[in-house]
């Protein structure tokens, strides 16, 4: 579920629905229903003028309840199976989506690391 949540983060609502339409994962259908419901709620309750003028500002998933179930094996034995649930949160914002941020290069990471090393304070020294 987190993979799909990360996939649609920052997309426009129409683009996110199109991506989820052609994804084979089980959670894609669930997230698609949640997005459609949130889109209807935005138009109905929050006075959004155009339904397609929304973008996914936040999209996260979290751990839910874990229920233990029995799984029966041969010879009268059994195993314990966990039924895992999760929570999904989405926040839609009116307007065009922001441009995607450029990924940090190796040089940027090294520069940041050196800056961190130079700015540290070493205690119990002269």
**pLDDT digits over 17-37, tens only?**
999 999 999 999 999 999 999
Domains delineated in the chain: 2-119 (3.90.470.10)
Let me know: does 57 contact 13? Beta carbons within 8 Å: no
Confidence of residue 101 (pLDDT cuts 50, 70, 90): confident
Q: Scanning the structure block, which residue is given the tokens 């996110």?
A: 16
**Is residue 121 scored above 80 in pLDDT?**
yes
Angstrom distance (rounded) from CA 50 to CA 43: 8
The whole-number pLDDT of residue 122 equals: 84
In this predicted model, what pLDDT tens digit does every residue of 50-66 receive, in sequence order?
999 999 999 999 999 99
pLDDT, position 97: 95
Q: How far apart are CA 35 and CA 14, in angstroms?
A: 10
């Amino acid at each position: 579920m987190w993979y799909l949540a990360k996939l649609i983060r920052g997309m426009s609502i129409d683009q996110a629905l199109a991506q989820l339409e052609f994804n084979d994962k089980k959670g894609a259908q669930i997230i698609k229903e949640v997005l459609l419901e949130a889109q209807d709620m935005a138009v109905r309750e929050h006075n959004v003028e155009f339904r397609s003028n929304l973008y996914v500002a936040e999209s996260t998933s979290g751990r839910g309840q874990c229920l233990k179930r029995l799984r029966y094996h041969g010879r009268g034995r059994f195993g314990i199976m966990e039924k895992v649930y999760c929570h999904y949160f989405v926040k839609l914002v009116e307007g065009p989506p922001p441009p995607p941020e450029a990924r940090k290069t190796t040089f940027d990471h090294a520069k940041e690391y050196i800056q961190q090393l130079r700015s540290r304070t070493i205690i119990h020294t002269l």
